[in-house]
Amino acid sequence: MTVLLWIPAFAFGYAGFALLALAVERHRRVLRPASRPWSPAVRRLLQIGGAGCLGLSLGTCAAMQGASTGLVSWTGLLTVGAFAVLGQISWRTAQHKAGR
Amino acid sequence: MAEPRRQRSRSSGPNRAWAAVTSRVLAATFGGYTLTHVASILLVFAVPASLSHAVLAAMMLSFVIYCVAIIWCFATRSAGRAWLGMLIPTAVLALPAWWLTGGLTP
Amino acid sequence: MKGGFRQSMAWLHTWTGLILGWLLYFMFVTGTAGYLDTEIDRWMRPEAPRIATDIADRDAIERGLAYLRQQAPDAGKWSVLPPSGRDIPALLTFWQGGEGDGEGGRGILDPATGEEIETRDTGGGQLLYRMHWRLHYLPDLLSGWLVSIATMLMFVAIISGVITHKKIFKDFFTFRPGKGQRSWLDAHNALSVLTLPFQLMITYSGLIFMMFVCMPWIVAAFYGTSEAGRDEFFHEIFPEPAHVETAGPPAELVALDGPLATAADRWGEGSVRSVEIEHPGHANARITLHGSIASTPLRDAPSLTFHGVSGALLAEQTVGTSAIRATRDVFLGLHEGLFAGPVLRALYLLAGLLGTGMIATGLVLWTVKRRQTLDATGKGSARGLALVERLNIGTVVGLPVAVAAYFWANRLIPADFSQRADWEVHAMFLTWAAMLVHAALRPRDRAWVEQFAIGAAACGLLPVVNALTTDRDLAHSLATGDWLFAGFDLFMLVTAVASAAMAWRLARRRAAPDASRRGRRMRNRPIGASHEPAASNTSRQ
């Protein structure tokens, strides 16, 4: 049953990196082109939210497998989540350019 | 591709450049290895554990020391300074290391 | 000063990465395959029967001992490992030579019957994994030093890479395709930074694996250089309690029930992972039961040592008594990943593959950068660049093709050929050599296309070869829910498609050359042909 916890663990990791990416102006322009640049306060909030999500991912992994194995699994999920966001940004950038 | 800083020399032809790089490589590889060993041997005395475990701890840390030594050899201003950076600490640390280990056991 | 430091670290990163880059690529390919070592073993022994997973440890161990009593009654040491998940898929027995007999041996048994599992002789996935640190054909000491040096170079490459990557946070999610050198750098950065915890861990733990080989004089300073001194050190680190050198007069080995019951008491049912018996059948026999090293990253297990004739408990070792030992054990445990369940194992595999990509993109980036400089300004060593370019093709694509050849050989070499295990390996290295020769002789851009095409054929046809030489073809595997064989075939097909796609893309790019690239025709000459551009500065060699 606890093996299903992989899903929220990954989801938190992905969300965390997505929020951190959105806090970067260059990436916001691609991911949320319709929006206006965030204020520093909003950016700070995104960064805290992103870090928080990454922490929740770690917590989920630890709950699933114990602290030591959970930590290892978490670093693996971070890689997958980061690549997912990177891929998304690359794809959106290509679409953006093509759309012009 | 940028190279490690070379000292200003009167005739800095390409052979001079490669000699300097080779010198740094030798300093890092062999000088660094020697420094790492001397430092690690001294480190054994700083670890609060039985001798065998202290040796184990020092061995595990030795690679960090070696890495720092190698980085120094290529970051420092000249090949000469690279060698000095290896030889002087080695000499300084070798004396207490030798004394504490009672000379190298046969 | 800061600019100078970053620049010198860029230089250091480039050269430490390049010097043994192809060896590191080999280590990453075989190491990544190592995370599926027992799965590959099973694929390479298709005639092996399905092993029942519900045999009680006690029964399996008894059958293992019965086998050893028959096969090696005079051995100095017996080992029995009952089946345990994916790490130990069958009943394993080993013996080491006793008095007057230096030989050792092993038997892979069916735990239900205690009979040897008769399969073709093959090194399997274990041999492929072992090449990761014991390079084939080379004497152990030389291989140990090469691997140690390569690992140390990689460690320096990682540290210098991090130092020199000024925009490591800013460019965290950056990948700009279609921009030549910039794209290769982005790819190399992404593959390295997004897997950085794994790369750091795998490299430093690799150094710790090799430290007895490459830092021996730290031990020698305290224990001397003699064999006896080294033994003393190792016995203090890895104590063997109640160990006795001499075997003593013949005596009957006690039944294992008592010791197994004690172990079940302390550790719970089914936790005995291995049974070691020293001097079986003699007065000084010792029975040691070990717990599992695969339960946590700590990679350490408790043990109980019993007197082999009386059955009395002589010694017990628990886990985590020494923080320093534990540190080493955790490093090794993280490296090997024995504790990883299926999802985590998949993550390990992914990290290994991405790391392999990190090395490949680094090697290619090195050539792309210098090719651009050479074409634009004529500066740089044309021969050195050509050498690296060809080694890249023959290794980045050629080595995986060689691994596919290992699998082809496993299916095609007749089962009764006495040296088939050796020749499976020869096939792998001969293929790698052939790919390197091909890379040297063909025009460079065409060589990439052709090698990817060969790779597509080598992987794509492997399921066909499998279907023709065994009865475990893809249709059968899917029908019977045999996920190992089905997964292997599907993985090969996916790899084949990816490889074919690469070949097609590169071929299309060749057909429509970028006119702004000067000297393109010159680049396509095979190695050995004159490379002197018109205005060349041959001052550097």
Q: How much is the average pLDDT of A92-99?
A: 83
Give CA C136 to chain center in angstroms: 12
How do residues C195-238 score in pLDDT, each as one tens digit?
A: 999 999 999 999 999 999 999 999 999 998 899 999 999 999 98
Which of the residues C167, C169, C173, C344 would you substitute to probe the A interface, choosing the one with the greatest number of A C-beta atoms within 10 Å? C173
Cβ of A90 within 8 Å of Cβ of C175? The answer is yes
Nearest of A35, A74, A37 to residue A54 by alpha carbon: A74
Backbone angles phi, psi at C3, to 5 degrees: -60, -40
Q: What phi-psi label fits residue C118: left (phi over 0), alpha (psi between -120 and 50 degrees) or beta?
A: beta
> Pick from C174, C347, C354: which is nearest to A73 by CB?
C347
Cβ of B58 within 8 Å of Cβ of C218? The answer is yes
Q: Which of residues 363-382 of C touch B (CB under 8 A)?
A: 369
Q: Which residues contact C413 (CB under 8 A, 6 or more apart)?
A: C420, C423, C424, C427
Element (H, E) at C117: none
> Pick from C220, C369, C539: which is nearest to B14 by CB?
C539
Residue C280 near residue C78, CB atoms below 8 Å: yes
State the Cα–Cα distance between residues C516 and C523, nearest whole angstrom. 14
Q: Which residues contact C366 (CB under 8 A, 6 or more apart)?
A: C14, C17, C18, C388
In what order do the strands lie in the sheet containing C286-290?
C105-109, C91-96, C77-81, C274-278, C286-290, C303-307, C313-317
How do residues C122-181 score in pLDDT, each as one tens digit?
A: 999 999 999 999 999 999 999 999 999 999 999 999 999 999 998 999 899 999 988 889
Give CA C121 to chain center in angstroms: 20
* Structure-token pair, residue C260: 């197994």
**Confidence band, pLDDT 50/70/90 cuts, at residue C270:** confident
Cβ of A79 within 8 Å of Cβ of C198? The answer is yes
Which of the residues A69, A79, A85, A97 would you substitute to probe the C interface, choosing the one with the greatest number of C C-beta atoms within 10 Å? A79
How do residues C314-331 score in pLDDT, each as one tens digit?
A: 999 988 789 999 999 999
Residue listed under structure tokens 């020092």: B58
Residue B69 near residue B26, CB atoms below 8 Å: no
> Pick from B44, B47, B66: which is nearest to C222 by CB?
B44
Q: Where are the alpha helices (DSSP H) in C20-139?
A: 21-34, 37-43, 57-71, 124-130
Pairing state of beta strands C313-317 and C274-278?
unpaired
State the Cα–Cα distance between residues C8 and B74, nearest whole angstrom. 6
Residues of chain A neighbouring C354 (CB-CB closer than 8 A): 79
Percent of chain C with pLDDT over 70: 93
Residue C75 near residue C95, CB atoms below 8 Å: yes
CA–CA distances in Å: residue A50 to residues A13, A32, A33, B81, C185 = 9, 16, 20, 45, 27
* Structure-token pair, residue C399: 């080595």
Nearest of C207, C204, C202 to residue C145 by alpha carbon: C207
pLDDT at residue C263 in the model: 92
- CA B9 to chain C, closest CA, distance in angstroms equals 18
Element (H, E) at B8: none
Give CA C12 to chain center in angstroms: 27
Q: What residue type is assigned to position B19 of the chain?
A: A
Residue listed under structure tokens 């490093």: C331
Strands (E), C128-273: none
State the Cα–Cα distance between residues C95 and C68, nearest whole angstrom. 8
Pairing state of beta strands C274-278 and C77-81?
antiparallel
pLDDT at residue C40 in the model: 96
Q: Is some CB atom of chain A closer than 8 A to the CB atom of C304?
A: no
What number of other Cβ atoms are within 10 A of residue C49's Cβ? 13
DSSP structural state of residue A3: G
* Structure-token pair, residue C377: 């300004």
Chains that touch A (3 or more CB pairs under 8 A): C
Cβ of B59 within 8 Å of Cβ of C219? The answer is yes
Backbone angles phi, psi at C486, to 5 degrees: -65, -45
State the Cα–Cα distance between residues C303 and C241, nearest whole angstrom. 10
Residue C81 near residue C273, CB atoms below 8 Å: yes
pLDDT at residue C538 in the model: 41
Residue C215 three-state SS: coil
pLDDT at residue B106 in the model: 42
pLDDT at residue B75 in the model: 95
pLDDT at residue C530 in the model: 46
Residue listed under structure tokens 């660094």: B32
What is the chain C residue with the closest CA to B48? C324
pLDDT along chain B (106 residues), means of 10: 52 77 96 97 94 96 98 95 96 92 62
Core vs surface per residue C480-514: b (16+ CB within 10 A) or e: eebebbbebbeebeebbeebbebbeebbeeeeeee
pLDDT of C523 strictly over 70: no
pLDDT at residue B2 in the model: 53
Residue listed under structure tokens 């080491």: C96
pLDDT of C114 strictly over 80: yes
Cβ of A86 within 8 Å of Cβ of C190? The answer is yes
Which of the residues A22, A75, A96 would you substitute to probe the C interface, choosing the one with the greatest number of C C-beta atoms within 10 Å? A75
Q: How much is the average pLDDT of C507-533?
A: 56
Max CA separation in chain A (angstroms) = 50
How do residues C361-413 score in pLDDT, each as one tens digit?
A: 999 999 999 999 998 998 888 999 999 999 999 999 999 999 999 999 999 99
Q: Is some CB atom of chain A closer than 8 A to the CB atom of C296?
A: yes
- CA A16 to chain C, closest CA, distance in angstroms equals 13
State the Cα–Cα distance between residues C93 and A67, nearest whole angstrom. 34
> Pick from C12, C220, C322: which is nearest to B74 by CB?
C12
What is the chain C residue with the closest CA to A71? C297
Residue listed under structure tokens 């690799």: C206
pLDDT at residue A90 in the model: 93
Q: Which of residues 206-225 of C touch B (CB under 8 A)?
A: 207-208, 211-212, 215, 217-225
Pairing state of beta strands C91-96 and C303-307?
unpaired
pLDDT of C252 strictly over 80: yes
pLDDT of C519 strictly over 50: no
Q: Is some CB atom of chain B closer than 8 A to the CB atom of C137?
A: no
Q: Which of residues 411-450 of C touch B (CB under 8 A)?
A: none
Residue C363 near residue C22, CB atoms below 8 Å: yes
**Confidence band, pLDDT 50/70/90 cuts, at residue C536:** very low
How do residues C425-464 score in pLDDT, each as one tens digit?
A: 999 999 999 999 999 999 999 999 999 999 999 999 999 9
State the Cα–Cα distance between residues C119 and C97, nearest whole angstrom. 24
Q: Is some CB atom of chain B closer than 8 A to the CB atom of C245?
A: no
Cβ of C211 within 8 Å of Cβ of B59? The answer is yes
- CA C538 to chain B, closest CA, distance in angstroms equals 10
- CA B88 to chain C, closest CA, distance in angstroms equals 20
CA–CA distances in Å: residue C78 to residues C107, C260, C440 = 11, 16, 51
Cβ of B74 within 8 Å of Cβ of C539? The answer is no
- CA C328 to chain B, closest CA, distance in angstroms equals 8
Q: Which residues contact C414 (CB under 8 A, 6 or more apart)?
A: C420
Core vs surface per residue A65-91: b (16+ CB within 10 A) or e: beebbbbbbbbbbbbbbbbebbebbbe
Residue A73 near residue A65, CB atoms below 8 Å: yes
**Confidence band, pLDDT 50/70/90 cuts, at residue C510:** confident
Percent of chain A with pLDDT over 90: 77
Cβ of C297 within 8 Å of Cβ of A72? The answer is yes
Residue listed under structure tokens 């054990």: C329
Nearest of C188, C50, C147 to residue C472 by alpha carbon: C50
pLDDT at residue A87 in the model: 95
Residue listed under structure tokens 């992972």: C273
Low-confidence winner among A1-10, C44-53, C244-253, C512-521 (lowest mean pLDDT): C512-521
Touching, C vs A (3+ Cβ pairs under 8 A): yes
Residue listed under structure tokens 């408790």: C302
pLDDT of C525 strictly over 80: no
Q: Is the alpha carbon torsion for C480, C485, C489, C490 positive or negative?
A: positive
Residue A100 near residue C329, CB atoms below 8 Å: no
pLDDT of A11 strictly over 70: yes
Residue C221 near residue B104, CB atoms below 8 Å: yes
Residue C317 three-state SS: strand
Backbone angles phi, psi at C185, to 5 degrees: -65, -45
How do residues C332-362 score in pLDDT, each as one tens digit?
A: 999 999 999 999 999 999 999 999 999 999 9
State the Cα–Cα distance between residues C464 and C515, nearest whole angstrom. 42
Cβ of C177 within 8 Å of Cβ of A77? The answer is no
* Structure-token pair, residue A70: 């959970």
Q: What residue type is assigned to position B51 of the chain?
A: L
* Structure-token pair, residue C526: 């095979």
How do residues C8-64 score in pLDDT, each as one tens digit?
A: 999 999 999 999 999 999 999 999 999 999 999 999 999 988 888 888 889 999 999
Core vs surface per residue B29-44: b (16+ CB within 10 A) or e: bebbbbbbbbbbbbbb
